[in-house]
Structure 1
Amino acid sequence: LGGNGEATLRQINEEYDLGLDIVTYDGVSIEEELMIGRIDALWQGEIKTKTVIEENDLAIRQLNEKLTYEINAYPFRKDEEGEKLAKEVTEAIKSMREDGTLKKLSEKWFNIDTTQPEE
């Protein structure tokens, strides 16, 4: 775990008093750790999990229940060039969202619409 996912899981663990022993992994295939029984479950993004399972034909399953919705952000250098690029990327994504291109790309490559939270 790490980043947004780790913070979210720790919050859920505390809020619902789940008593989970949360362990972070770095540079290790957490899916393989699950397959060999070293861990009981893993928490990571839906797209990454789905992709790794499909590409490696892993004998593990992904829960279909959406427990959270997280928004990701991507950093740009904090200088004039970085700010210009961030603005261009933001405008391009906004335009793609408005005309439906972003949804179409999401469905084409991930077989899900990642542009909207689940209802």
Structure 2
Amino acid sequence: MCLKKQQISFKAVARAALFSSTLMSKVLANRVRCTVLYATETGKSQTLAQRLNSMLNCAFNSRLLCMEDYNFSDMEQESLLVVVTSTFGNGDSPGNGESFKKQLFSLQYLRNKLRYC
């Protein structure tokens, strides 16, 4: 039994590559958005947040931000918000997370909606 080789043109391969690229970009664009926020004094929480963001980016459309760079009004549109922070001294929050903490604790209506561990 002799099988005949089928030749595939470059044009056909290019079309297939373009089609698969288009499909992949649509799938990636439809992933759930996730924001990872961090606050740190020594940099350890930032390192952990970067690693977590890399892992989450496999399943989510994730982004990494320092708390002081985060626009607090964006919180209502968040599907998933992950906060990585440390404490120092007597449980004090890092300097770059202090304003975020104050704004978060001032929102009474969020108390029943927040899940944390």
Name the TM-score, length of structure 2 as normaliser: 0.32
Larger Rg: 2
Relative to the length of structure 1, the TM-score reads 0.32
| Structure (1 or 2) with the greater strand fraction | 2
